[in-house]
Structure 1
Amino acid sequence: MSEATEQHREAAPDKVRISVLTISDTRTEDTDTGGDAIEELMTAAGHEVVSRSIVRDEADLIRDRITTLLADPDVDAVVTTGGTGISGRDTTYEVAESMIDKQLDGFGEIFRMLSYEEVGAAAMLSRATAGAVGTKFLACLPGSRNAVRLAVEKLLAPEIAHVVFELKRHAGKEG
């Protein structure tokens, strides 16, 4: 790890305030295993889940909910689960892409690489994505509990504080 990365991680907040949004036409509070996994793993990593909600896989509903969550001053990041596949009902990716100012291409690339090790070529069907929406972080994960666990354990939990630090550090600055 570079010295600069190490310094940024040390300066990063101890905890990130996260809203978890499940995107599904069928999940309920009782069956939201993806949302449960995000909350469990992020809390175990020392972060705070400030809200959880479920929205149907309808582009306008998803956009409205993400916009509302990101506007909350008590939220640093929104992590979604569901709607990132390629079926006709999956619209999370299109909504996220239209909202993200700065794409973190490496997130999706690394996620699919890690997923490939577990599920083989089917990993290419995932459109997991992440990026900056202003000074907030948006990460969109698949609906599968195993995929959520992989993304949170290997990518989000270890790096989300650094990402949030970078977004806030450059708030109002170009470059």
Structure 2
Amino acid sequence: MGYQEHKHHVPVSVNCAVVIISGSRTEQTDESGKYLISRLKECGNNVTAYSIIQNDASAIRDTIDKVFKDGITQAIITSGGTGASHMDITIETISPLLAKKMDGFGELFRNLTYQEIGTGSILSRAMAGTIEGKVIISLPGSLEAVKLAMENIIIPELSHLVREASR
């Protein structure tokens, strides 16, 4: 089955959780999370959970485990903790949990980021993968980066990613 045929068999809507990983964001200051929730809903998806957690490996693992065990959520989008600082541990925490890593996501994101900001794109470690037949996408914390990923990658491919991960 070719790419276009696959796209015809994808779910109409996806059940998604939004997890913000930050030591400083609150519900009042979390622009990226609000944007993710708004755009997911505008595109016909359901938001099953929203949380803001600390840059802490145990908190990240526990949240992912809890959300995916709800029996509803098909995808988690995280925002934050993907940079090069010693405090940015999202990628190091999530990577060992992945059954499959989708290298193309990070490659495409960095390419799009390069077109926007130039060589600063090398600092991004955005990634996507699967955990037990479900999708996890980890984005930078900045609103601009979240918008770039949502509009150019996630919205066009989320249903397809979920279908393929669950097969």
Report what 1:128 is aligned to. Answer: 126
**Is 1:109 aligned to 2:107, yes or no?**
yes
The one-letter code matched in structure 2 to 1:151 is A
CA RMSD in angstroms comes to: 0.9
Report what 2:44 is aligned to. Answer: 46
Q: How far apart in 2 are the matches of 1:101 and 1:44?
A: 30
The one-letter code matched in structure 1 to 2:56 is E
Report what 1:15 is aligned to. Answer: 13
Whether the 8 Å CA contact 1:41–1:149 is kept in 2: the answer is no
Q: How far apart in 2 are the matches of 1:93 and 1:101?
A: 14
CA-CA distance at 1:22 after TM superposition: 0.2
* Alignment map for 1:1-175 (pairs within 5 Å): 4-169=2-167
Q: How far apart in 1 are the matches of 2:15 and 2:118?
A: 33
Q: How far apart in 1 are the matches of 2:134 and 2:70?
A: 10
Structure 1 residue ranges, 4+ long, deviating more than 3 angstroms after superposition: none
Q: How far apart in 2 are the matches of 1:98 and 1:48?
A: 27
Q: Unpaired runs of 5+ in structure 2?
A: none
CA-CA distance at 1:124 after TM superposition: 0.6
Q: How far apart in 2 are the matches of 1:96 and 1:129?
A: 10
Whether the 8 Å CA contact 1:102–1:133 is kept in 2: the answer is yes
The one-letter code matched in structure 2 to 1:78 is I
Show CA shifts across 1:24-62 (max 9, x none): 000000111111111111112221111100000011111
CA-CA distance at 1:153 after TM superposition: 0.8
Could you tell me the TM-score, scaled by structure 2's length? 0.97
Q: Unpaired runs of 5+ in structure 1?
A: 170-175
CA-CA distance at 1:129 after TM superposition: 0.6
Query: Identity over the aligned pairs, expressed in percent?
Result: 40
CA-CA distance at 1:4 after TM superposition: 1.6
Paired residues in the alignment total 167
CA-CA distance at 1:65 after TM superposition: 0.6
Show CA shifts across 1:78-133 (max 9, x none): 00000000111100010111111100000000000000111111111011011011
CA-CA distance at 1:69 after TM superposition: 1.0
